[in-house]
Amino acid sequence: MSLVTTHVLDTATGKPAAGIAVRFEGQDGSLIAEGATDDDGRIRDLGPDTLDPGVYRLIFDTGSYLGPEAFFPDVTIAFRIVDGTSHHHVPVLLSPFAYSTYRGS
């Protein structure tokens, strides 16, 4: 399993949000990995198996999923990795006018 994984649930429909492009960036904005959510709304392999401690970002292209009138055309989540060898799961709950996130397992 990859060190960083994600999952997007469309809370308006109660279904996984498939096809959302996600960019994984380092603290300096450098690209580490990119992918798209699968039919279950997940990216199970995003990035390397180890990372240096620091602040990282996941950028979700929610505008392509929600449409051209999307209130949130993208969602950027910054998070800190302290242990660069442990798994970090970053889920997103998405609706047309809100989103939330938490550290998953």
**Binding annotation for substrate:** 7, 42, 102
Binding site residue list:
7, 42, 102
Supply the DSSP string of 6-40, one letter for each residue.
EEEEETTTTEE-TT-EEEEE-TTS-EEEEEE--TT
Taking the alpha carbons at both ends of the chain, their separation in whole angstroms is: 12
The rounded distance, in Å, linking the Cα atoms of 70 and 90 is: 22
Helix (H, G, I), strand (E, B) or coil at 62: helix
